[in-house]
Amino acid sequence: MLRIDHLTKSYGEKKAVDDLSLQIQKGEIYGFIGHNGAGKTTTLRSVVGIQDFDSGEITIGGHSVKKEPLVCKRKIAYIPDNPDLYEFMSGIKYLNFIADIYGVDANSRREKIHKYADMFEITKDLAQPISAYSHGMKQKLAIISAWIHDPELIIMDEPFVGLDPKAAHLLKGMMREVCDRGGAIFFSTHVLEVAEKLCDKVAIIKQGKLIRSGTMEEVKGDDSLEEVFLDLEGVPADDADHRSVDHAVEAVPAGSTKDCEQ
């Protein structure tokens, strides 16, 4: 479904992506993990054709992203890490706009909009301007717009950010349904627990280079994905433990320390 061969992209003297190659087959949910600045977003933007790259080749269903961009764009949907939607539109006008672009017929779009808007509980908000939406509502609208034309390949950059637990659970189910019908999912995430439970395969990128990829079992062995990732990042186990404690302290609501002391 997706083939990336020796992808390289530089910004000045910095190589954001360095000779990266991987393949995603039909039916696979493929996770893409790495720290901030590792090259994940540059890779995803190159795949969907909105980021030029210096060398290498990317094909979707056998079609070149550079040579046959329109053919490739018809096959994919892309959800960026911060959905940049037309905020002057209402939610329903935006969804119809996307459906028009992909030539989705009236009955199919009506059915899908009704189904997914009800699932994500935003049906009553579709008449409102997108400018009035919260980040989570915009994310839900972007997800619906991505699913509206039944793409073969869905590319997502941190798709779970901003979603409440129920919406995140629904999205996971939708991702699996796409793959069950022969599609594929390629998404980046910082939530390693989600990647470990959801993905068929995973790739780890560091400083633009792919350092490990394969099935979840091949990548992590008997360890957790978090342990493998931190080890590859060169983070000692005790530092990781301290980091977990720091995160737990940061999560304590203001004003609760007095209760803890008592």
- Model confidence at 234, pLDDT cuts 50, 70, 90, reads low
With a cut of 90, say whether residue 256 has pLDDT above it.
Answer: no
Share of the chain above pLDDT 70, in %: 88
Mean pLDDT of 185-196: 88
Tokens of residue 104, six digits: 């989705």
Q: Which pLDDT value is given to residue 4?
A: 97
Distance of alpha carbon 4 from alpha carbon 59, whole angstroms: 7
Mean pLDDT of 3-19: 95
With a cut of 90, say whether residue 209 has pLDDT above it.
Answer: yes
Torsion over CA: 54, 59, 64, 68 (sign)? negative
The separation between the first and the last C-alpha atoms of the chain, rounded to the nearest angstrom, is 58
DSSP H or E stretch at residue 260: helix 257-261
Most confident segment among 35-39, 166-170, 225-229: 166-170
Mean pLDDT of 2-9: 97
- Model confidence at 222, pLDDT cuts 50, 70, 90, reads low
Domain ranges of the chain: 2-221, 222-262
Distance of alpha carbon 53 from alpha carbon 122, whole angstroms: 38
Q: Which of 47, 38, 45 is nearest to 210 (CA)?
A: 38
DSSP H or E stretch at residue 197: helix 192-198
Average pLDDT taken over every residue of the chain: 87
* Alpha-carbon distance values, 162 to 42, 69, 87, 137, 166 (Å): 21, 31, 18, 9, 12
Mean pLDDT of 33-41: 90
- Model confidence at 230, pLDDT cuts 50, 70, 90, reads confident
With a cut of 60, say whether residue 182 has pLDDT above it.
Answer: yes
Q: Which pLDDT value is given to residue 83?
A: 82
- In this structure, of 83-87, 124-128, 165-169, 175-179, the range with the lowest mean pLDDT score is 83-87
- Model confidence at 152, pLDDT cuts 50, 70, 90, reads very high
Amino acid, single-letter form, for residue 175: M
Torsion over CA: 80, 45, 32, 176 (sign)? positive
Tokens of residue 142, six digits: 């972007």
Q: Which of 190, 166, 178 is nearest to 77 (CA)?
A: 178
Cβ neighbours of residue 95 closer than 8 Å, sequence gap 6 or more: 109, 113, 126, 141, 144, 145, 148
Q: Where are the alpha helices (DSSP H) in 69-224?
A: 69-75, 91-101, 106-119, 135-147, 165-180, 192-198, 216-220
Q: Which of 50, 61, 55 is nearest to 42 (CA)?
A: 50
Mean pLDDT of 73-93: 93
Q: Which pLDDT value is given to residue 238?
A: 52
Q: Which of 73, 27, 30 is nearest to 177 (CA)?
A: 27
Mean pLDDT of 106-118: 96
Pairing of β 184-188 and β 14-24: unpaired
- Model confidence at 48, pLDDT cuts 50, 70, 90, reads very high
Mean pLDDT of 224-253: 55
Q: Which CATH class is domain 2-221?
A: alpha beta
Tokens 């540059």 found at: 42
